[in-house]
Structure 1
Amino acid sequence: MATARTKKKSAPARPSAPDEAAEAFAQIEPELDRVEKVVPINVDIPRAVAVAVGAVPHLKTLRARFVDELPRFPIEALDKLMSYALGAWYAHLLALPAGPGQEGLKRLLEEASALRADLLVAAEALAHKGFVDAGRVAEIRSGNGHLDTANDLVALAALFGESWGAVKHKTTVEWSDVERASKLGPELLVALGARNQPGVPAPKAADPADRRARAFTLLVRAYDQCRRGVTYLRWAEGDYDAIAPSLFAGRGARRAGPVKEEPADEGAEGEAAGDGEWGADGGEAPEE
């Protein structure tokens, strides 16, 4: 019998309804032009967003400790983390190619429905053995409608991606299925017209790829700060990775950590560094 894994405190979640994501993007858009160095997109954005969205509620439960024990912590990184995650999600949708038309939409819906069903069955089997979060799987199962199908695929891709090292030999799901779910979800949203949200101002810049890179940078910077903070606060318990898993987890992903950013106009590769060090006494948080 397989040994059940300890249930994580956070698990990937559906990104959001398109209207909420569009509003979040409008809120963070003024910050995009102030990004001088961007993070290269060397991770799947939909899966990373789903991980961040799932972690936010658990990070928020520690907010009082962030304030009390880490007086130099930039608390706005935690307070705005959900907006950064949803803003990056919407920016990703804006950067995708146009939808395939009505016939193409029908094909996408058929593929998405079948893939969602297959991944859910596999996820429920893994949840039964304790390898993935059963509550999160049940939440995904509760979705209905085309928009939920699209977001469910992203959440399922992130759920498998985060646990891939532990589950890849215990499931009939292939990594190609995970990758396809992560791409198909956003493609379906675009085909369904999710980018066209009434009442939300149109993006100010004409280059959606640049907007996406800058929005993703804001997310990575804020999440990096929160991971540093929770590492400090939960160092003794050792559950900091369970509360705030790496955005870069998954097959072939390297361990996340602050490295050099690159100028926004060069598009070079590397992960984000935080905006300075801090701690309860101004020192660094413990190393992961």
Structure 2
Amino acid sequence: MPKPKNPNKSGTPAVEPTQLHIAEAAFQRVKPALDAIPLAGLDTPRLDLQAAAVQAIGVAQTLAAPQLRQRIAAIAAAGALDAALIDGLESVAWATWFARHKLLLTSATHSGAALPATLVERAYEMRARMLKTLEYHLDGDAEATAQLAHLRAGSGHLDLANDLSGAADMYRKHRDAIQDDKRNFRSEDEQDASALAEQILRLLGATSTPEQMLWKGYQARAAKLLFRHYDEAVRIGRFLFYYDDPEGRFPNLYTATRATHASPRPDKKPDAGPVKPEPAPVEPPVAGIA
């Protein structure tokens, strides 16, 4: 089964119609469970949810192999596993991908909301200065270069806020390498960039449309459900592959999505996805959504 492709920085998902139909159908199946999750106090995890969904789909398909399913059923029969969480993982992952997809689409059309011109000008100037500083001093750092390529690809106010946050994080991480730059480095940029990003997001959020609020809610609910299903899959997956790189085959979602971002987006192949389990030494998984 095809896996969903991650969106580009502008928020326009690169997705085939068949994938979108699969994702939407999965969302409709999972929607009653999502609606049952209270929104109060619910936060969306700080990670790439679509990359996390792709990772979860890969794990679900690995565990769907017939020989593994027999062992999983036996373990579940003994009361040591919730098989329903494994069975529903792929549908929940597709639903999560779809919720994020819809939020990105609605946000892309709304990201041009009016912001003070002076704020936008200052933010772009700071972004350019910080990226120039980082690029000059971290040219030999492959991971940093990949992160900077990701930041450079941004467009629109939402990406501007995210890029400022990312640049501030890189300033904190690489301060020793850049702080002696007399031309572009400013010690206050790290804190100011974070503050500007927060201000932009707050102003955009203050004018969120009802549709944006709807999909923000579904995104948060889907993320909670995804973690619940995926954690159970990781638990059984690491048990079944205990002697065969269990953590590499079944990483937590934060580790998996960090690995995804290690490659610059402009060079990403169309079918590239996050780190996923190596093919298991069993029969291929059954096609179809769990």
Normalised by the size of structure 1, how large is the TM-score? 0.48
Structure with greater Cα Rg:
2
Normalised by the size of structure 2, how large is the TM-score? 0.48
